[in-house]
Amino acid sequence: MIRLDKYLADMGIGTRQEVKRRIRQGKVTVDGTVVRSPEYKVDEECTVCCDGGRVCYEAFEYYMLNKPAGVVSATEDRTEKTVIDLIGGQRRKDLFPAGRLDKDTEGLLLITNDGALAHRLLSPKKHVDKMYYVRVKGAVTEEDVHAMAEGINIGSSALEEWTKPAVLDIISSGRESAVRLTIQEGKYHQVKRMFLARGKEVTYLKRERMGALALDESLQPGEYRRLTEEELKDLYETDRHA
């Protein structure tokens, strides 16, 4: 059971104060009866309507976002536009990005309010693959492939910080190279630091996959959609087998 005001606020109808006001004004019904008490308890089986429209409760929501460059992976920021700002409509207040992408990094980002799933997907102990498309200055060689496979020291000269083994696939190599890198961690600026440790500068970075969830290439940067039932099932399978 859940309080009526929380039910409505969770579904993005308004803030707790706004929905309390609507309830007290008689604009909310439960199973066809006007309810004026914000504390009234309802469950998912109840038919809740606000201003004549039905409000169906979902405990969790899952969105795939193609994060554009220039947007920060945060729920709120005083000066920068956030990934949550990109989710339009009557969005719920408890959404957050599952993990972070650097401000200038593009690509797959899961937006949800399922904290337990997000924690398991992001835990280093779970070994969930994160695959990135990367462009770097300079030629990427088989020596780089072997080095990445053994783990890279991305620490400072005074402090070592080794990554776990990573898989590097060379797409093209030259004055500017294109590669795909698969890692199982999410250290601060990790991909950039791994290539920097090999003497190469990352010029473009895009996450294409996290576990079984692959970026929908039809989504333009800044666009998003709900996960399909099949994608959500695969994501939970990733969690269980990681």
Active site residues: 102
| Distance, CA of 99 to chain centre | 6
Q: What is the token pair recorded at 44?
A: 């998912």
Give the side-chain half-sphere CA count within 13 A for 26: 0
Element (H, E) at 233: helix 229-241
Neighbours of 14 (CB within 10 A): 17
From the list 102, 88, 50, the residue with the least C-alpha distance to 223 is 88
In this structure, which amino acid lies at residue 126? K
- What SS3 state is found at 9? helix
DSSP H helices in 114-164: 115-122, 142-150
Residue 81 phi, psi (nearest 5): -75, 135
In this structure, which amino acid lies at residue 207? R
